Amino acid sequence: MSRQSNRSTDTKKMNSELFTLTYGALVTQLCKDYENDEEVNKQLEKMGYNIGVRLIEDFLARSSVGRCQDFRETADVIAKVAFKMYLGITPSVTNWSPAGDEFSLILESNPLVDFVELPDNHSTLIYSNLLCGVLRGALEMVQMAVDVRFAQDTLRGDNVTEIRMKFIKRIEENLPAGDE
Amino acid sequence: MAIFSVYVVNKAGGLIYQYDNYVPRTEVEKTFSFPLDIVLKIHDEKVIVSFGQRDGIRVGHAVLSINGVDVNGKYTAEGKEILEYLKDPSNYPVSIRFGRARLSSNEKLMLASMFHSLFAIGSQLSPEAGSSGIEMLETDMFKLHCFQTLTGIKFIVLADPRQSGIDALLRKIYEIYSDFALKNPFYSLEMPIRCELFDQNLKSALEIAEKAGTFGPGS
């Protein structure tokens, strides 16, 4: 699955079911290892964070978007460019808070949870928590501290999957020169 | 060889990757008999020529190898002091290679950190707010191009002043970094890059850049 030939603008096709299966195997193994939903949620978020800090460079290298001027622009880029590029879906950006520092991403479909049903003994498991970690890690690398959590999850009975993102602060340490 | 070297500097200013693509043309190897008519002295842990310029051996050139074996600073590969070795008539005839001393890896580390600071000064000197740092540094022998990503990593390419397409090359190196360094799970961020695939792909990218002069879309 690693790319060793020259990259064209569209990515090589991989079976998305293999991706869903891989993610499912990962979550079930974590459940077996930790036996505690809270712990699994934390681990998924951590793993997502490690993915996010690497994925951001790939995203910036391929999409050539510049620095976003405000949080609204960030939200648009995440929904329209990033999600499209990596998961092939375009969530909608809604529910802006009055201060403009919080918004929701509504996902109609979530490739991670194709064919998945949560059993009763895992009712507090946030299955797609990896995505929260990815978003947090990626934004941290571009000097934005955000809090990402699932507000609604189709696996737990809601109608849509909703990710709530809150801007906490701009990370001032280690700012790249010229970005003040 | 129109692209001379590539440096990658992390967020904190430390050098995490360096590649030299040039062969210095000014190396001379000659066989000498006792006594040596070139005056040598020690400077900065290296043995350099201080007097006796001739035949392509210039003042300031360093002793690079003795009898075909690369020297180690001011000592030979076996650990003997070079100046003592060359005072002993029994060691002659000896074949010495002189050339412009290459930068040691410590010196490169230091220079990269210094460039990182100068880059920041570049943006502070700007009359307008929100200026980028140093993007290009030009001398009569080379042009230094620098590209800083939004995450603070700097890619620096030293090339011939006439070489074009370096901007595209810098973006290409960024892609190669995001592919072969970052997607390697065993590579830790901000650490020196020791990934073979990264080296290989970087070398082929440099070759393409030198030949074509530029990168086309979709490459």
Q: Which residues of A touch B124 (CB under 8 A)?
A: 177
pLDDT at site A109: 87
pLDDT at site B99: 85
A177: helix, coil or strand? Answer: coil
CB A178 to CB B197 under 8 A?
no
Q: Quick one: pLDDT band at residue A11, thresholds 50, 70, 90? A: low
pLDDT in tens, B33-88: 888 888 888 887 888 888 888 877 888 888 888 888 888 778 888 888 888 888 88
Average pLDDT over residues A145-151: 93
Residue of B nearest to A138 (CA): B151
Residue A145 distance to chain B (closest CA, Å): 14
Statement: residue A8 has pLDDT above 50: no
In angstroms, the first-to-last Cα distance of chain A is: 39
Q: Which residues of B touch A180 (CB under 8 A)?
A: 129-130
Mean pLDDT of chain B, nearest integer: 86
Q: Quick one: pLDDT band at residue B213, thresholds 50, 70, 90? A: low
**DSSP-assigned beta bridge partners for residue B157:** B6, B145
**E runs forming strands in chain A:** 92-94, 102-107, 144-152, 161-170
Chain A with chain B: Cβ pairs closer than 8 A: 72
CB B218 to CB A60 under 8 A?
no
Residue, of B156 and B123, whose pLDDT is higher: B156
Residue of B nearest to A3 (CA): B179
Report how far residue A55's alpha carbon sits from residue A139's, in angstroms, rounded to the nearest whole number: 10
pLDDT at site A168: 93
Statement: residue B175 has pLDDT above 90: yes
pLDDT at site A104: 93
Exposed, middle or buried by CB within 10 Å (0-12, 13-18, 19+), for A132?
A: buried
Statement: residue B153 has pLDDT above 70: yes
Q: Quick one: pLDDT band at residue A180, thresholds 50, 70, 90? A: low
Q: Is the ipTM of this complex over 0.90?
A: no
Q: Which residues of A touch B152 (CB under 8 A)?
A: 174-176
Domain ranges of chain A: 38-117+124-170
pLDDT in tens, B90-111: 888 888 888 887 788 889 999 9
CB A178 to CB B12 under 8 A?
no
Residue, of A4 and B147, whose pLDDT is higher: B147
Report how far residue B167's alpha carbon sits from residue B208's, in angstroms, rounded to the nearest whole number: 14
Report how far residue A19's alpha carbon sits from residue A87's, in angstroms, rounded to the nearest whole number: 11
Domain ranges of chain B: 3-23+104-212, 27-99
CATH number assigned to the domain with residue range B27-99, chosen from the 4 options 1.10.3720.10, 3.30.420.40, 2.30.42.40, 3.90.470.20: 2.30.42.40
Residue B197 distance to chain A (closest CA, Å): 9
Mean pLDDT of chain A, nearest integer: 87
Residue, of A175 and A154, whose pLDDT is higher: A154
Q: Which residues of B touch A174 (CB under 8 A)?
A: 11-12, 152
CB A177 to CB B133 under 8 A?
yes
CB A60 to CB B179 under 8 A?
no
Q: Quick one: pLDDT band at residue A179, thresholds 50, 70, 90? A: low
The residues of B whose Cβ lies within 8 A of any Cβ of A are 11-12, 119-120, 122-124, 129-133, 148-153, 171, 174-175, 177-179, 182-183, 189, 197, 217-219
pLDDT at site A146: 94
Residue of A nearest to B215 (CA): A6
DSSP class of residue B91? G
Dmax of chain B from CA atoms? 68
Q: Domain B3-23+104-212 classified CATH 3.30.450.70?
A: yes
CATH number assigned to the domain with residue range A38-117+124-170, chosen from the 4 options 3.50.30.30, 3.50.50.60, 3.30.1380.20, 2.60.40.10: 3.30.1380.20
Residues of chain A above pLDDT 90, percent: 59
Exposed, middle or buried by CB within 10 Å (0-12, 13-18, 19+), for B16?
A: buried
Statement: residue A108 has pLDDT above 60: yes
A46: which 2 tokens? 């951590």
Which of A7, A66, A177 lies closest to B175 in CB terms?
Answer: A7
Which of A4, A57, A67 lies closest to B182 in CB terms?
Answer: A57
pLDDT at site A2: 43
